[in-house]
């Protein structure tokens, strides 16, 4: 499933979408919150510029919105439907889930967004 060359591999690991040889981020750990959005400008293997156009990653906000809705719905279903908590507890669990997942959502949104525009190509070289 996580073979090199699949988009899922790049999305889950945050590697360069073109060559998948190195991380796009300066700090691989999304839990270091100060560095969560610090990205390298280029891939040092293939030379791909991650910021395809100015403010490219603003578009990832829409992906992030979708991911946050998915996290919220999942938290609600788990607490209200499966665990049978009260409505108030269910809404608190949604907020807790969104706060805890936010560094991962931020990165996954960027990873998904850049993978919508860039495909895997092991022979790509940007001069
Ligand atoms: Zn690369």
10-42 pLDDT, tens per residue? 999 999 999 999 999 999 999 999 999 999 999
Cα(22) to ligand 1 centroid in Å equals 7
In the chain, the N- to C-terminal Cα span, in Å, equals 32
Cα(107) to ligand 1 centroid in Å equals 17
Residues 6+ apart with CB under 8 A from 26: 35, 38, 39, 40
Cα(64) to ligand 1 centroid in Å equals 23
- Indicate whether this model's pTM tops 0.85: yes
Do 25 and 40 form a contact (C-beta atoms < 8 A)?
yes
Cα(116) to ligand 1 centroid in Å equals 16
């Amino acid at each position: 499933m996580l073979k090199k060359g699949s988009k899922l591999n790049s999305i889950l690991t945050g590697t360069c979408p073109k060559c998948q040889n190195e991380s796009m981020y300066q700090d691989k750990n999304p839990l270091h919150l100060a560095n969560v959005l610090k990205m390298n400008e280029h891939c040092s293997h293939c030379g791909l510029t991650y910021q395809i156009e100015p403010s490219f990653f603003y578009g990832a906000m829409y992906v992030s919105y979708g991911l946050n809705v998915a996290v919220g719905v999942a938290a609600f279903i788990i607490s209200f439907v499966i665990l049978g908590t009260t409505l108030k507890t269910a809404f608190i669990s949604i907020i807790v889930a969104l706060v805890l997942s936010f560094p991962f959502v931020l990165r996954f949104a960027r990873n998904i967004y850049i993978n919508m525009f860039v495909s895997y190509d092991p022979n790509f070289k940007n001069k």
